[in-house]
Amino acid sequence: MDNKLNEKNNFIIYTTDDGQVDIEVRLEDENVWLTQNSMAELFDTTKQNISLHIKNIFEEKELEENSVVKHSLTTAKDGKNYKTKFYNLDLIISVGYRVKSIRGTQFRIWANKLIKEYLIKGYNLNVERFKNNGGGPYFEEVLEKIRDIRSSEKVFWRKILDIYATSVDYDAKNEQTREFFRTVQNKMHYAVHGNTAAEVIFNRVDSEKENIGLTNFKGSMPTRAETEIAKNYLNEKELNLLNRMVSAYLDVAEINALNMHAMTMKEWVNELNGFLTMTHKDILEGAGTISHEKALAKAHEEYDKYMRNHLTQAEKDYLEIMSEDIKKLK
């Protein structure tokens, strides 16, 4: 991916709910971006603390650095330009959870609304371009892109959090909430291909297959992290159906949330079951036959096998030299 931000970008001022801090937020590439200094202001902590959390996030492989960081030249008070790192919403949210800041939650809600407005504005501009160009497949391609954005694992997670935060028994720190999200995700997957997220990973990851069984990944080779995402194993038909179902369900769920009915998380699950029934899909009962941990263990095992079978010539030469050196030492 291109790890540079455009110099001609959009800046928006975010004011904290208490009105004490104004933060300059960069809006670009359908995302929001902050520097470490801005995050320190946002979360009312030190830059050193922010830097430590970011370091731990990358070391623990919670996020891939090259997917959440971009660089840009910024002008300092001395008039000189300096290369500065900017971090996107995924990273900002992760830091916010670690510093346990209420401002982090408020910023996430604001940023999600901002991104949605940004997408809508971009979509409207594309519609005008479509009209002016006389039609063709362009309009359908725009819709597909929007559906794919909305059904990505991270966007889906954030949207679900926003919607279900209206539940009267919602508690972000409660394990029940995490289990609830897994239930929703699994019901969606099961409706599309008859497997839970863990089952599709366990059944389809295979070191002997092309690209270890993945159909969707960045770069020239799959990464370990990409083998852990069920959506990456779906074929084109399944992916298209999942995108459409997630997009439709989010619309239904948002409408219900806007009606301000007091609902529990269990009632939201029943709401999802009703949605799936309406679309004539099978409804998952229970947690499935494969645990999340078992699926990840197999994915990691197959990935290690796959990488051993796909060493570059340089890597093979290096191992051969090392082997010869070891023999000489014996």
Distance from C-alpha of 223 to C-alpha of 279, rounded to nearest angstrom? 35
What phi and psi, each to the nearest 5 degrees, are found at residue 230? Answer: -60, -40
Greater model confidence, 20 or 191: 191
Q: How far apart are CA 187 and CA 249, in angstroms?
A: 12
Mean pLDDT of the chain: 76
Give per-residue pLDDT as tens, 202-243: 999 999 998 999 998 887 788 889 999 998 999 989 988 888
What is the amino acid identity at position 169? D
Q: How many CA atoms lie within 13 A of 230 on its CB side?
A: 25
pLDDT at 126: 45
pLDDT on residue 159? 67
Full DSSP string of 236-292: HHHHHHHHHHHHHHHHHHHHHHHTT----HHHHHHHHHHHHHHTT-----SS-SS-H
Neighbours of 241 (CB within 10 A): 16
- The first and second tokens of residue 248, run together, are 């439709």
* Angle CA 237–240–241, to nearest 5: 85
CA terminus-to-terminus distance, the chain: 46
Per-residue pLDDT at 1: 42
Query: Could you tell me the residue ranges of all domains in the chain?
Result: 10-108, 141-309
DSSP 4: B
**163, two tokens:** 């919607």
Within 13 Å of residue 290, how many CA atoms lie on the same side as its CB?
20
- Condensed to tens digits (0 to 9), the pLDDT of residues 38-67 reads 999 888 889 999 999 999 999 988 888 888
- Position 117 scores a pLDDT of 59
Percent of the chain, pLDDT > 90?
A: 20
Spatial contact of 253 and 162, defined as CB atoms under 8 Å apart: no
73 or 234: which leads in pLDDT = 234
CA pair distance 218, 298, nearest whole angstrom: 21
Query: Residues 6 or more apart from 2 whose CB is under 8 A from it?
Result: 70
Q: Report the DSSP beta bridge partners of residue 4.
A: 71
Q: What is the pLDDT of residue 153?
A: 62
pLDDT confidence of residue 160: 66
* pLDDT, tens digit (0-9, with 9 covering 90-100), for 141-190: 545 554 555 556 666 666 666 667 667 777 766 777 777 778 888 888 99
CA 233 to chain centre: 16
Q: Give the Cβ contact number of residue 156 at 10 Å.
A: 20
The structure tokens listed for 307 are 């990488």
**pTM greater than 0.85 (yes/no):** no
